[in-house]
Structure 1
Amino acid sequence: MAVKMIKIAISSIAFLLALSAGSNAINFQSLSVHELAYTTHEIDTSHSTQLPSNSIYKKHQMTLQLVHRDKMSIHGKKTYWHLFQEQLIRDSKRLAGLYRQLKNSSSRSSSYELHDFGSAVVSGVEEGIGEYFVKIGIGSPPVDQYMVVDTGSDVTWVQCEPCTNCYNQADPIFDPAGSASFTRISCGSVACGLLDQAGKCGSGQCQYEVTYEDGSYTKGTLALENLKFGSTEVENVAIGCGHHNLGLFAWASGLLGLGGGVMSLVGQLGSQTGGAFGYCLASPGSGSDGSLVFGRDAGIPTGAIWVPLVRNPLNPRFYYVGLVGLGVGGVRVVVPEEVFQLSEYGDGGAILDTGTAVTRLPVRAYENLREAFVNSTIGFPRADSVSLFDTCYDLSGFGTVRVPTISFFFSNGPELTLPAKNYLIPVDVHGTFCLAFAPSDSGLSIVGNIQQKGIQVSFDTVNGLAGFGPDTC
């Protein structure tokens, strides 16, 4: 069968987008070990000097620069190893929270259990949620606030004065008394009834409450407020004004909910953006953290492949995709398609998630992927397992290596072949690289942000499509 393919260079690594399944895919691609040598340096994570301005760049008005959480840290310089360990700890908490949410929403008794993270928590490390952040303006006049970006949450909220219980944040706490556009929402409003946890009533005003996977929470008043994305202002967006907040959000002021529910920012901006948004998480060493784009004319690069979104009525906030198979070295891994299917009870399926770092696969799928990858890398010296990664290599003596490609296959034919540095990643300063996938007992597949880096990911919620395209970070 003829295979139509689009080949795009991402740094020195080939990024392949195959538009239909077939057997002629390129089997290997190069991984520059030295290119990732930045991991040997300390990383200055001081938030006071490295945060970018609220810049709108490229040609789209509603384009925001993403900031990785490591630049929001208050702990100063850290080694790559320390930051990597912290990321895995956050990842474990995120996964446990997702499992709890899915178990609670499933229409039958499910076995969502966490058997994932084996490393000890670093002493003295306190980690919260959120991997990427953006700066937006809130209120009239707009007050700049850094917000966690989360595609797995619906409610957008910000810490508000008077704050009975607030965590530390980089920006001054938002005071609604200083905003001419702030309007509290009444208990009987449509918006109040659309909250996942039906809004409670307090003094005639709608009260919201959201609890996150690590035990963090926010409680307060639901209100209509103006939000400013660069030069574009959007009026009357329903947001939470949090007066009782507990947790660690890396000094962010709140959270930008980009989930698939009607109360998410994406759902509320439907008339202005056509239900479309996208993001690009920059590749390691690129010097940028990436971008977040809203609008039907933005974030949809030429040459993107499109895959169907699969709706889960029991969990509409997550973006499920029609994953049907995996490939290694251009050869389809033997895994029945039903392993990836979303059941009528809301179990299984595959989601795209910016808050999870490492891609999780059902045990059977992971084991077959790992076996195929190991069989294609017999010449590489092996290294001991590191944390949740059981397939590692000592590449300290190499400058560049040729590694087998890894691909995702989607329903109706599209194939996405990942850049090599999205699945064989450095885990220490000594040249140890590990296969960045992990097994999951839950049956749920999660495509994490490590595998999404350097790829423009776009969502067309009106037509039920997700797109993957060339690097535009």
Structure 2
Amino acid sequence: MEVNHNPSPQLTGVVIITLPPPDDPSLGKTITAYTLSNDDQTPTPPVNSPPLASQNRNISAQNFFYKISKSVLPILGISLIALYLWVSLSGETLFELRFENGDDDRRENNGSQSTFLFPLYQKKLLGEVELKLGRFVDSESRPVLTTGKLVSVASKVDASSVVPVKGNIYPDGLYYTYLHFGSPPRPYFLDIDTGSDLTWIQCDAPCTSCAKGAHPFYKPAEANIIPHRDSYCFEVQGSQRTKYCDTCHQCDYEIEYADHSSSMGVLARDELYLNIANGSLAHSKVVFGCAYDQQGMLLNTLGKTDGILGLSKAKISLPSQLARQGIIKNVIGHCLAASANGGGYLFFGDDFVPHQQISWVPMLHSNVLNAYRTETVKISYGRRQIRFGNEGNGRGSLVFDTGSTYTYFTEGAYNDLVSFLDDISSESLVRNMSDSFLPVCWQAKAPLRSIEDIAQFFKPLNLEFRSNWWAVTKKLQIPPEGYLVRHSIGNVCLGILNGRKLHDGSTFILGDISMRGRLFVYDNVNEKIGWVRSDCALPQSSATPLLF
């Protein structure tokens, strides 16, 4: 028989816990501990715990805070998530552009990078609807300018100057700003266009088809003309360029716009002078178009401006060139005022971006356009959802285009919206089928002073965009003032048009009429687009040109 030599477990101590009497729980628990010796197993004197009331209070406090944290923390977490969603989806704060004392410090931290601020003016419509979204086409399809003609007119620079004319307020039109080119610098008024790549100025080289413009034409010297071998020439000619040309002495281009107008010219390189936001002056050599042949609606719309300021993502756009030179960060912003006085501002750089207030959405890429695009997931008129009108996955593509006077919907979405608006009928506002100003118009019984007089008959448009956060969308609400325009005869018309003939017909275009009253920012560094409500008031210290 096997004998188990392992000793049986020995009792080494006893702990006795005495509960408080039921009629007086405040007395707390009693804890008493005994230890047993290995020799004689004689109980040792009791070792009392710390004062019972004090320990009870500690234990009770721990239990209390544990229970509180267990119940409150989930509620707090849900509240924080709800607060974030509410901020993301609801109303925006009003951003005001101000110069702070820390602006100079930020510029020093950015090294040599600066921020440039430009005033915007509103251009009166001349009976035409402007729509840009330009693209380069094969210039060999039309006659090209010879170098000899350039040399013959480039010996002198016209020293005369013209005082700029600010844009009119009514009716709504495109917005323009001014830049200074050449040596000595001369002012030019340029339509701001986030949908176009190339900045160009009407050019006397000589000019074969130009509008009157606001200033004398730019006159290039022979040294200003970019040769065919320049890298920017590859940028504008792209796939149309078949081989290198040894006999070519200039870089020809042709741009065709969505409204079927066009501009032809040659690339030039000259000094650009810019007013830095802190009041100082900077200059750099940039590439732009010397445009000598304009066709179509451009001949009408350039009555008070001298060209187009291309602000797209393309390498040849003016902001991209300044960023490649290390002068700015590749960030631009524009704010078109919604007030009757119009105006607003444009900036290059990131000093005036309200990062904490702005609603951001990711920027989409396209092989066809260098314009600023994002993805829409839902569009509604009030609570009534609008179809995207294309064969897709229930989502759409939207382009932000300051070169378009009005907003464009896909055909299906446009038809939905018009059908919803057919329900609008009252004694004060009736549909007017005879007004040819725009396709859809209404006539008010009483004379209209502004859109606000009849805004109560219409509902806001809600555009929802995909964001970088899962299951979270960003909303852009456009009030009736953002899609209605008052005609000179007193009628009010729908400022949203059918975009079935634009490119492939599947893209929404947000034009000037719908971007007023907000600051829009295009961050090419982080590839995102953002907006925030703003009064778009330009600080008085920056509203005066330095070189006029």
| Band of TM-score, shorter chain | 0.5 to 0.7
**Aligned counterpart for 1:20 among listed residues 89, 99, 103:** 89
Aligned to 1:175: 219
Q: How does 1:40-439 map to 2 (within 5 A)?
A: 62-70=116-124, 83=125, 86-87=126-127, 89-91=128-130, 94=131, 131-165=174-208, 167=210, 168-177=212-221, 183-196=224-237, 203-212=248-257, 213-220=259-266, 222-230=267-275, 231-245=280-294, 247-248=298-299, 249-270=302-323, 271-285=326-340, 287-300=341-354, 303-315=357-369, 317-329=370-382, 331=383, 333-335=385-387, 349-373=397-421, 375=423, 381-385=429-433, 386-387=435-436, 388-390=438-440, 392=442, 394=444, 396=446, 399=453, 401-402=455-456, 403-412=458-467, 413-430=473-490, 432-439=491-498
For residues 148-182 of structure 1, what are the alpha-carbon distances to aligned partners after superposition, in whole Å with 9 as ceiling and x for unaligned?
Answer: 2222211112233442425222222223349xxx6
Q: Distance in 2 between matches of 1:324 and 1:334?
A: 11
Q: Distance in 1 between matches of 2:337 and 2:328?
A: 23
Query: How many equivalent pairs are there?
Result: 373
More strand by share: 1
Q: Distance in 1 between matches of 2:394 and 2:353?
A: 28
Matched residue SS, 2:327:
helix
Does the C-alpha gap of structure 1 residues 394 and 245 become closer, same or farther in structure 2, counting only changes over 3 Å? closer
For residues 258-314 of structure 1, what are the alpha-carbon distances to aligned partners after superposition, in whole Å with 9 as ceiling and x for unaligned?
Answer: 1221111122122332210011112141x2322111111135475221122211112
- Please say if residues 323 and 409 of structure 1, whose CA atoms lie closer than 8 Å, have aligned partners that are also in contact: yes
Amino acid at match of 1:227: L
RMSD: 3.8
Does the C-alpha gap of structure 1 residues 216 and 350 become closer, same or farther in structure 2, counting only changes over 3 Å? same
Structure 2: where are the runs of 5+ without partners?
A: 1-80, 104-114, 139-172, 468-472, 538-548
Amino acid at match of 1:169: G
For residues 382-425 of structure 1, what are the alpha-carbon distances to aligned partners after superposition, in whole Å with 9 as ceiling and x for unaligned?
Answer: 22144444363536378565342221111130001123311233
Does the C-alpha gap of structure 1 residues 334 and 195 become closer, same or farther in structure 2, counting only changes over 3 Å? closer
Does the C-alpha gap of structure 1 residues 335 and 141 become closer, same or farther in structure 2, counting only changes over 3 Å? same
State the TM-score, normalized to the length of structure 1: 0.68
Q: Distance in 2 between matches of 1:193 and 1:355?
A: 25
Q: How far off is 1:134 after superposition?
A: 1.3
Q: Distance in 2 between matches of 1:57 and 1:161?
A: 40
Q: How does 1:28-43 map to 2 (within 5 A)?
A: none
Q: Distance in 2 between matches of 1:407 and 1:5?
A: 16
Does the C-alpha gap of structure 1 residues 451 and 172 become closer, same or farther in structure 2, counting only changes over 3 Å? same
Question: Taking CA–CA contacts closer than 8 Å with sequence separation of 6 or more, which of the two structures ends up with the larger relative contact order?
Answer: 1
Amino acid at match of 2:371: F
- Please say if residues 280 and 290 of structure 1, whose CA atoms lie closer than 8 Å, have aligned partners that are also in contact: yes
Q: Distance in 1 between matches of 2:199 and 2:303?
A: 17
Q: How far off is 1:64 after superposition?
A: 0.8
State the TM-score, normalized to the length of structure 2: 0.59
For residues 94-147 of structure 1, what are the alpha-carbon distances to aligned partners after superposition, in whole Å with 9 as ceiling and x for unaligned?
Answer: 3xx75x96999xxxxxxxxxxxxxxxxxxxxxxxxx922211111233211212
Amino acid at match of 2:337: A
Give the share of equivalent positions with the same residue, in percent: 24
Q: Does 1:452 align with 2:498?
A: no
Matched residue SS, 1:140:
coil
Does the C-alpha gap of structure 1 residues 288 and 357 become closer, same or farther in structure 2, counting only changes over 3 Å? closer
Q: How far off is 1:377 after superposition?
A: 7.1
Q: Distance in 2 between matches of 1:268 and 1:196?
A: 17
Q: Distance in 1 between matches of 2:137 and 2:466?
A: 25
Matched residue SS, 2:264:
strand
